[in-house]
A and B are shown apart, each in its own frame.
Chain A
């Protein structure tokens, strides 16, 4: 199994600012993902973080709003840019070792935008 940590665990931010969330996995993984969970809803995939190349974004999410880095096989960052109250959500990092293996989730970052 993989243990995933995220920083920060929560933050309250002002409209128009940006926040970078860090995700650290305790072992090398082939796949890392970023999800958003809006209040009362299920998880929505933002993008797949690719090591050494640009992330693969899902429909409705763009790089300018959610830039992602993945410099190695254990670490990734997600930035929420030019935030608005609609960005208030839990952001979850997730990782999987290989295509069909079990997927693990981080503790989440609870973001509130005022």
Chain B
């Protein structure tokens, strides 16, 4: 079982719709990272958060540490939002005082005009 689970795997929406992608993790983490990957392969960092909520433009990310759950919301979705969205958890490595990044399987989002 993957330590980081995402849902849904695939999501198709109409332009303008409100989008939610969910991420849950099984063990304690120091932070969670939401990433966006376009068809060319490059990965863009959207948010890194360890508590509460962050907002950037039409994107909002929330995290609930007690429930081990995070969500990425896209308001007023647009076809250019079509991409794979990946959540990645920073698992603390006590022996090195660093952290290890574990990735979810990704959510393929398609926004139709």
Contacts and interface: CB of A to CB of B under 8 A. Distances in A.
A103 B105 contact: no
Contact of B41 (A100, A104, A108): A108
A41 B30 CA distance: 24
A109 B42 CA distance: 9
Interface residues on B, range: 20 to 34
A90 B41 contact: yes
B48 interface: yes
B45 A104 contact: yes
B42 A106 contact: yes
Contacts of A53: none
A53 B32 CA distance: 30
A107 B41 contact: yes
Interface residues of A, number: 21
A104 B101 CA distance: 11
A100 B96 CA distance: 11
B96 to A, nearest CB: 7
Contact of A43 (B30, B44, B92, B103): B103
Given A103-B33, A109-B41, 12 more contacts: A90-B41, A99-B93, A99-B96, A99-B99, A100-B30, A100-B90, A102-B45, A102-B48, A103-B45, A105-B45, A106-B42, A110-B41
Interface of B: 30-31, 33, 35, 40-45, 48, 86, 88, 90, 92-93, 96-99, 101, 103-106
5 contacts: A37-B41, A45-B101, A100-B92, A104-B45, A105-B35
